[in-house]
Amino acid sequence: MASGCRSPMSICAVRLSRLNASGAPISNHTAGAISQQGGIGVLKWTADIVAGDKIRDKDGCGNLAVVRDYDDKLAGFNVELDLLVSSYELRELAYGAQLITNGATVLGAADTVDTACGTVTAKTGVVLEAWGENQECAQLDATNPYHRVVFTKVVFNPTDGEMKAGANHMVLKGYARVNDGAGNGPFNDWPSSVLAIPNKARFVIEDTGLPTASVDCGYVTTPSQS
């Protein structure tokens, strides 16, 4: 059955979930994810296309003897997430910032520099999911009012930023790559048919609702993996 013609719009929620070194979501982790509704500016991505070779060989008389074009290849996506509301815990989960605490209270986060003389821990990345509305003319679609954009593995870098009049945005930039180890998602809510699709970097699915938001932009416990 066809999904129907609608107008995808807006960005209502995002969820970032930890991955382990194999690309699988981390199971039963009390700080395994952050789910945010509202305060989201823009999620944008650009395709990382590797141009195919173009061969143009001439013979001894200057005539074209060989003309061959190889297809361009999709290597992944470059991803940027612009947030008007964020938390120190989000920085830690997204790219490995070190939390600054006083007992159990989080006071801040520190970005540490990668140096050649130190031991650098490889980033395992996160699953990034974002929800937008499905508008059908003058109302939300009755069956699936939302659509979900999923990046199966995103590796973010420390944030760009500025301090100015008005809201100071947190901008996360990174790259999305193939991750077939994510199973049916960190919260076991991806369609089973997704498992059969190899080399997944991004996909879009229909949704009936938004994820439960983190309390005070803190962590959410991830469930057991099915």
Say what the pLDDT of residue 28 is: 95
Q: Residue 39 in contact with residue 84, Cβ under 8 Å?
A: yes
Say what the pLDDT of residue 226 is: 74
Say what the pLDDT of residue 119 is: 67
Q: Show the tokens assigned to 206.
A: 């229909």
Say what the pLDDT of residue 172 is: 95
Say what the pLDDT of residue 215 is: 86
Q: Show the tokens assigned to 87.
A: 């938390």
100 φψ region: left (φ > 0), alpha (ψ -120 to 50), beta (else): beta
93's CB contacts (< 8 A; 6+ apart) are 16, 18, 31, 33, 34, 126, 219
Say what the pLDDT of residue 159 is: 83
135's CB contacts (< 8 A; 6+ apart) are 6, 7, 8, 9, 141
DSSP three-state, residue 42: strand
Which is nearest to 23 in space by CA: 191, 158, 220, 225? Answer: 225
Say what the pLDDT of residue 3 is: 74
| Cα–Cα distance measured from residue 32 to residue 25, given in angstroms and rounded to the nearest whole number | 8
| Cα–Cα distance measured from residue 184 to residue 83, given in angstroms and rounded to the nearest whole number | 27
Mean pLDDT, consecutive 10-residue stretches, the chain (226 aa), reads 80 97 95 95 96 96 96 96 94 95 94 75 92 92 94 93 89 96 96 94 96 91 90
Say what the pLDDT of residue 118 is: 64
Q: Residue 194 in contact with residue 186, Cβ under 8 Å?
A: no
Q: Residue 25 in contact with residue 225, Cβ under 8 Å?
A: yes
Strand partners, 155: 175
DSSP three-state, residue 177: coil
**DSSP class of residue 220?**
B
The angle formed by the CA atoms of residues 170, 172 and 178, to the nearest 5 degrees, is 160
For the chain, domain boundaries: 7-49+77-217
Say what the pLDDT of residue 145 is: 95
The length of the chain in residues reads 226
